[in-house]
Chains A and B, each alone.
Chain A
Amino acid sequence: MATGAVTAPVAAAEWEPTLEPRRRLAGWGRVARKNPVGVIAAIIVVAFVTLGAVEVISQSAFGTVVAPENPREIHASVQLQGPSLAHPLGTNQRGNDMLSRIMAGARVSFLIGAMALVIGFLPGALLGVISGYYQRWIDYVIQRGGEAWAAFPVLFLYLAFITALGQGLKTIAIVIVISSLFGGSRVLRATALITKHSDYIEASRSLGASDSWILTRHLIPNVMPIIIVGASSVFAVSVLAESALSFLGLGLEPGTPSWGIDLSEGQSNMRLHPYLVLFPGMAISLVVLGFNLLGDTLRDILDPRLRGSLR
Chain B
Amino acid sequence: MWRYTLRRLAFLPLVLVLVSLITFILLRVLPQQDPAILMAGQNATPEQVAAIHAELGLDKPIATQYFDWMGHVLRGDLGKTYYSKRDILDEVKHRFPASAEIILLSLTLSVVVGVTFGVISATMRNTGIDYGVRLLAVFGQSIPEFFLLVLLILIPSIVWNYAAPVGGYVSPIDDLWRNIRMFAPPSLVLGIGGSAGIMRLQRTTMLEVLRSDYVRTARAKGLASRSVVMTHAFRNTLAPLVTVVGASFTTVFAGSVIAERIMSLNGLGVFFLQSVLQRDFPVVQFLVLYTATVVILANLIVDLSYAFIDPRVKYR
Contact = CB atoms under 8 A, between A and B. Distances in A.
A152 B295 CA distance: 7
Contacts of A263: 146-147, 150
Interface in A194-222: none
Contact of B291 (A156, A244, A248, A292): A156
Interface string B91-103: 0000000000000
B27 A277 contact: no
Given A152-B295, A160-B288, A247-B258, A270 B144 contact: no
B284 interface: yes
B251 interface: yes
Interface stretch (A115-123, A183-191, A283-291): A283-291
A163 B82 CA distance: 14
Nearest to B23: A160
Interface string B233-254: 0000000000000000011011
Contacts of B219: none
A145 interface: no
A50 interface: no
A267 interface: yes
Given A289-B138, A292-B138, A160 B26 contact: yes
Nearest to B32: A166
A155 B291 contact: no
A72 B150 CA distance: 24
A267 B149 CA distance: 11
B295 A151 contact: yes
B258 A248 contact: yes
A240 interface: yes
A102 to B, nearest CB: 14
Q: Mostly helix, strand, loop or mixed at chain B's interface?
A: helix
Interface string B270-297: 0011001101010010011001100110
B33 interface: yes
B150 A164 contact: no
Interface in A251-299: 263, 267, 270-271, 274, 277, 281, 284-285, 288-289, 292-293, 296
B141 interface: yes
Contacts of B292: 151-152
A153 B251 contact: yes
B240 to A, nearest CB: 14
Contacts of B295: 151-153
Contacts of A114: none
B139 A289 contact: yes
A163 B276 CA distance: 5
A244 B186 CA distance: 15
B179 interface: no
A162 interface: yes
Interface residues of B, number: 43
Contacts of B279: 163
A196 to B, nearest CB: 23
Interface stretch (B43-51, B56-64, B111-119, B151-159): B151-159
Contacts, number: 113
Contact of B144 (A166, A249, A288): A288
Nearest to A274: B154
A253 to B, nearest CB: 13
Nearest to A165: B30
B30 A156 contact: no
Interface in A146-161: 151-156, 159-161
A164 B26 contact: yes
Interface in B145-171: 145-147, 150-151, 154, 157-158
Nearest to B145: A244
Given A156-B291, A248-B261, A271-B158, A163 B33 contact: yes
Given A163-B276, A248-B258, A271-B158, A151 B147 contact: no
A243 interface: yes
Interface in B171-213: none
A159 B138 contact: no
B273 A248 contact: yes
Given A165-B33, A277-B154, A244 B146 contact: yes
A292 B26 CA distance: 35
A248 B272 CA distance: 12
B143 A285 contact: yes
Interface in B11-37: 23, 26-27, 29-30, 32-33
Nearest to B26: A164
5 contacts: A151-B295, A152-B295, A247-B258, A267-B262, A285-B142
Given A281-B150, A288-B143, 17 more contacts: A156-B253, A159-B272, A159-B284, A161-B26, A163-B26, A248-B257, A249-B277, A250-B273, A250-B277, A267-B150, A271-B157, A274-B158, A285-B144, A285-B147, A288-B142, A292-B141, A292-B142
In the A-B complex, list the 10 residue pairs whose CB atoms are closest, starting with the nearest. A155-B254, A281-B147, A289-B142, A153-B254, A164-B26, A288-B142, A153-B250, A285-B143, A153-B253, A159-B276
